[in-house]
């Protein structure tokens, strides 16, 4: 079956009822008929509530189907998903290793790398997001535990050479982790490129309604067995109510990301021709320096992208954002409503300095009509001419 059909019907064959949606099971204890079954339950018997009941299991099945993964771990947020993947990727005795981190990494993940990785004896080393595989191989001359990827970067939207970087990491003996939130396992499959652990914030496109927080980590083979074990060790669990909401959103994910992506690309094209816009950060545009690589790796665009206001200071960019009506100020992306985020306050760089022609704004295109969204952007940009 095609991916859209599999998503709609994922999880249903394992149930014996005639319900369209799975029941929400709220329980911590699963009773067993014998001590033998209590300690070694025979599949598909459940073991304990923390391991997930329905619809948790159906959600894992659906995400595993998208990634063609052997195991999917659910986490309490997208951030915790990336952290679980990083901690899982570390060797059992990590002291003396380095972790290579893309300099475009999501801010809270950067904080974890800076503050927590050294506690394991692992040194975080940041690299240019557009690094070549050859240059990454040079960095891998030192013992390296993991290479963290994020493509496109969630604020500045650089596209990475994922096949080349993954190959270099494997040859250097390092595991690979990617924050795959932008593609949502719809526009690209990182596991097919050889990446070991694909994390994403299900909060965003997978859920689509901005009404819960959740993350996931998908893996194959030995990496799948390892992340399954570590998630149990770290006590990972999400509520069945949130799992139900995510599963509901996942059923319509292909339709929503296609609509959002189409709207976002149209808005990016119009902004690319606006006199007050210095540069649009959208790899789907032919004007993007990453467009050729993007076209090789991605089947389409998400609706999240950035643009730089020519000669406008940070305060001026924030004034434009505050003038918008349909684009509301807020973190996250991938919901049905459109969002705007002034980015300059949170950009942090270590190796590849961020240099721009003005203030940076990030847009997340929702499901509103593109002409209404453009009218909103146009009237806000008019503030710059006052």
Rounded to 5 degrees, φ, ψ at 243 are -60, -40
The three-point CA angle 8-11-15 to 5° equals 125
The three-point CA angle 197-202-208 to 5° equals 150
Domains and CATH numbers, the chain: 3-251 (3.40.640.10), 254-385 (3.90.1150.10)
What is the distance between the alpha carbons of residues 381 and 321, in angstroms, rounded to a whole number? 9
Asked if 323 is an active-site residue, the reply is no
The verdict on whether omega for the bond into residue 220 sits within 30 degrees of 0, i.e. cis, is no
Looking up tokens 């240059």 gives 135
Q: Residue 255: what pLDDT?
A: 97
Q: Residue 44: what pLDDT?
A: 77
What is the distance between the alpha carbons of residues 188 and 316, in angstroms, rounded to a whole number? 36
> How does pLDDT run along the chain (386 residues), one tens digit per residue?
888 898 888 777 666 677 788 888 898 998 999 999 999 988 877 888 888 888 899 999 999 999 999 999 999 999 999 999 999 999 999 999 999 999 999 999 999 999 999 999 999 999 999 999 999 999 999 999 999 999 999 999 999 999 999 999 999 999 999 999 999 999 999 999 999 999 999 999 999 999 999 999 999 999 999 999 999 999 999 999 999 999 999 999 999 999 999 999 999 999 999 999 999 999 999 999 999 999 999 999 999 999 999 999 999 999 999 999 999 999 999 999 999 999 999 999 999 899 999 999 999 999 999 999 999 999 999 988 75
Q: Residue 347: what pLDDT?
A: 95
* Strand duo 144-150 + 123-127: pairing: unpaired
Write the burial class of residue 385 (CB in 10 Å: 0-12 exposed, 13-18 middle, 19+ buried): exposed
Q: DSSP for 305-361? A: EEEEETT--HHHHHHHHHH-SSSEE-S---SSS-EEEE-GGG---SSS----SS-EE
Query: Which of 61, 87, 106, 242 is the catalytic position?
Result: 106
Q: Please state the pTM of the whole predicted model.
A: 0.95
HSE of 290 in the Cβ direction (CA atoms, 13 Å)?
23
Q: Residue 13: what pLDDT?
A: 63
Query: Which of 128, 161, 179, 344 is the catalytic position?
Result: 179
Asked if 382 is an active-site residue, the reply is no
Asked if 126 is an active-site residue, the reply is no
Query: Which of 110, 204, 228, 256 is the catalytic position?
Result: 204
Q: Residue 386: what pLDDT?
A: 53
Asked if 204 is an active-site residue, the reply is yes
DSSP 124: E
Query: Which of 50, 251, 276, 348 is the catalytic position?
Result: 50
What is the distance between the alpha carbons of residues 23 and 186, in angstroms, rounded to a whole number? 26
């Amino acid at each position: 079956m095609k991916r859209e059909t599999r998503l709609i019907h994922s999880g249903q064959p394992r149930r014996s009822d005639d319900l369209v949606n799975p029941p929400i099971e709220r329980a911590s204890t699963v009773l067993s008929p014998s001590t033998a079954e209590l300690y070694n339950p025979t599949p598909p018997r459940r073991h304990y509530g923390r391991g997930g009941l329905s619809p948790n299991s159906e959600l894992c099945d659906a995400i595993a189907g998208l990634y063609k993964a052997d195991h999917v771990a659910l986490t309490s947020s997208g951030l915790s998903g990336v952290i679980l993947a990083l901690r899982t990727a570390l060797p059992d005795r990590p002291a003396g290793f380095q972790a290579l981190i893309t300099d475009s990494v999501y801010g809270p993940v950067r904080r974890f790398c800076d503050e927590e990785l050294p506690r394991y004896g692992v040194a975080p080393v940041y690299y240019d997001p557009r690094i070549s595989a050859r240059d990454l191989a040079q960095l891998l001359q030192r013992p390296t535990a993991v290479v963290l990827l994020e493509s496109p970067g969630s604020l500045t939207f650089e596209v990475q050479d994922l096949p080349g970087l993954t190959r270099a990491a494997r040859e250097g003996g390092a595991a690979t982790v990617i924050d795959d939130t932008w593609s949502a396992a719809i526009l690209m499959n990182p596991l097919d490129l050889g990446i070991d652990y694909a994390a994403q914030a299900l909060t965003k496109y997978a859920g689509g309604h901005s009404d819960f927080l959740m993350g996931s980590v998908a893996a194959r083979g030995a990496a799948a067995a390892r992340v399954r074990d570590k998630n149990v060790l770290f006590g990972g669990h999400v509520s069945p109510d949130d799992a139900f909401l995510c599963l509901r959103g996942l059923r319509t994910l292909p339709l929503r990301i296609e609509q959002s992506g189409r709207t976002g690309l149209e808005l990016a094209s119009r902004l690319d021709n606006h006199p007050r816009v210095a540069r649009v950060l959208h790899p789907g545009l032919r004007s993007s320096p990453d467009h050729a690589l993007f076209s090789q790796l991605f089947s389409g665009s998400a609706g999240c992208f950035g643009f730089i206001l020519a000669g406008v200071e940070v305060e001026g960019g924030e004034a434009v954002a505050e003038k918008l009506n349909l684009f509301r100020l807020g973190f996250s992306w991938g919901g049905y409503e459109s969002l705007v985020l002034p980015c300059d306050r949170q950009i942090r760089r270590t190796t590849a300095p961020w240099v721009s022609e003005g203030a940076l704004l990030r847009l997340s295109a929702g499901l509103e009509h593109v002409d209404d969204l453009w009218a909103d952007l146009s009237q806000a940009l008019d503030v710059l001419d006052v």
